Amino acid sequence: MEPTQPRISVIIPAYNTADLIAGCLDSVFSQIYQDFEIIVVNDGSPDTDELEKVLEPYLTRIVYIKQENKRAAGARNTAIRKACGEILAFLDSDDTWLPDHLVSQVTLFDQDPTLDMVYCNALVIGKGKRHSQFMDQCPSDGEVSFEALIVERCQVAVSTVVVRKNAIVKAGLFDETLDRCDDYDMWLRTAFQGAKIGYSHKVQARLYGGRPGSLGQSSSKMTQAYLAILEKTSRNLPLNDSQRDLIRRRTVDIRAKYLVEEGKCQLYKEQFDKARELLSEANRHSGRPKLSLVLFGLRVAPNATNKLISFWCRIRNIARG
């Protein structure tokens, strides 16, 4: 009797997380739902020796692939091509699932067989053990659509996504030219191809934010990557006039946000002339009263303005934590 193929392929890219991946794997093996395979892709990790020592006790229970570095998108694509399951479940190697994650997501598929992709809420573990719920900061509201993803009315954490493999293949897999936000680009293309996407507000995962070296650490770089994906989407997809106009307006907003983030970076470096230049351009895009006030402060008292902004950012971060 031939062994049956697993229903789910769990995809875990590994890069410089030897100290965290055991917890990640243990959270998968602790799932109530057990019809899965696990594919770990060592994406040219600099800690390979340590990683393989940690993985040694798991090797009989996982599919382990080692490759040259292709970033997260390339690692996920390698695993997708190897995957036997009809459903893919993505999990970053520094994140973990709660025990009911897979059974909850599979139940959504079973209740509505027309669904192609589902995701859920998660606990975001920040510095100093502060934590918050992902959907408190990045909400999902109403029906998920291409347009909802563009304006971020619905936002997706990759380590909560469970999706039919054929939906990802139909959308063209992950874009390996992107070094950030390749997951956001993937969901946009998946939705554009007509995938039906659902979600749950239930917390089913733990996401570890702010890890040194993580791709999401720099707000300015993430905003720049998001802007590049909007431009790529407008350039490459056969959009209708309404969609193209929506992206154009969203691009203006994100461009202003990027200039503000870059302006903050220059402020922290006390490069006040450059900061004023960036924030002035941002103000031309958005015309926000607060930006006008900051620009006035930079003209008359740059050091004091910088200290005030730094203080306000610390207070805001504490409140969010």
CA 141 from centre of chain: 18
Q: Please say if the pLDDT value at position 299 is more than 60.
A: no
Q: Is 285 a residue whose pLDDT tops 90?
A: no
* Of 153 and 252, more confident: 153
Q: Where is pLDDT greater, at 292 or 183?
A: 183
Residues 6+ apart with CB under 8 A from 38: 10, 12, 25, 28, 61, 62, 63
Q: Which two tokens stand for residue 137?
A: 């900061």
Q: What is the predicted pLDDT for the residue at 121?
A: 98
What's the predicted TM-score (pTM) here? 0.82
What's the residue count for the chain?
321
Q: Which two tokens stand for residue 1?
A: 């009797």
Q: How far is CA 9 from the centre of its chain?
A: 19
Instruction: Encode burial over 133-150: b for 16+ CB neighbours within 10 A, e otherwise.
Output: ebbeeeebeeebebbbbb
**Residue 224 pLDDT:** 85
Of 157, 189, 156, 158, nearest to 173 by C-alpha is 189
Percent of the chain with pLDDT over 70: 75
| Beta strand spans in the chain (E) | 8-14, 36-43, 63-67, 87-90, 96-97, 117-125, 131-133, 162-164, 197-208
> How far is 44 from 30, CA to CA, in rounded Å?
28
- The two tokens of residue 266 are 């220059």
Higher pLDDT pick, 253 / 136:
136
For helices 272-286 and 289-300, what crossing angle results, to 10°?
160
Q: Please report the pLDDT score of residue 296 as a whole number.
A: 42
- pLDDT tens for each residue of 154-197: 999 999 999 999 999 999 999 999 988 999 999 999 999 999 99
83 pLDDT exceeds 70?
yes
CB 18 within 8 A of CB 50: yes
Max CA separation in the chain (angstroms): 81
Instruction: Give the distance, in angstroms, between the CA of residue 309 and the centroid of all CA atoms in the same chain.
Output: 27
pLDDT digits (tens, 9 = 90+) for 31-64: 999 999 999 999 999 999 999 999 999 999 999 9
Q: Which CATH superfamily is domain 8-208 in?
A: Spore Coat Polysaccharide Biosynthesis Protein SpsA; Chain A (3.90.550.10)
Whether residue 149 contacts residue 232, with contact meaning beta carbons closer than 8 Å, is answered with no
List, by residue range, all CATH 3.90.550.10 domains of the chain: 8-208
CA distances from 176 to 111, 159, 193, 296 (A): 34, 18, 19, 43
DSSP strands (E only) in 25-141: 36-43, 63-67, 87-90, 96-97, 117-125, 131-133
pLDDT, mean of residues 285-313: 47
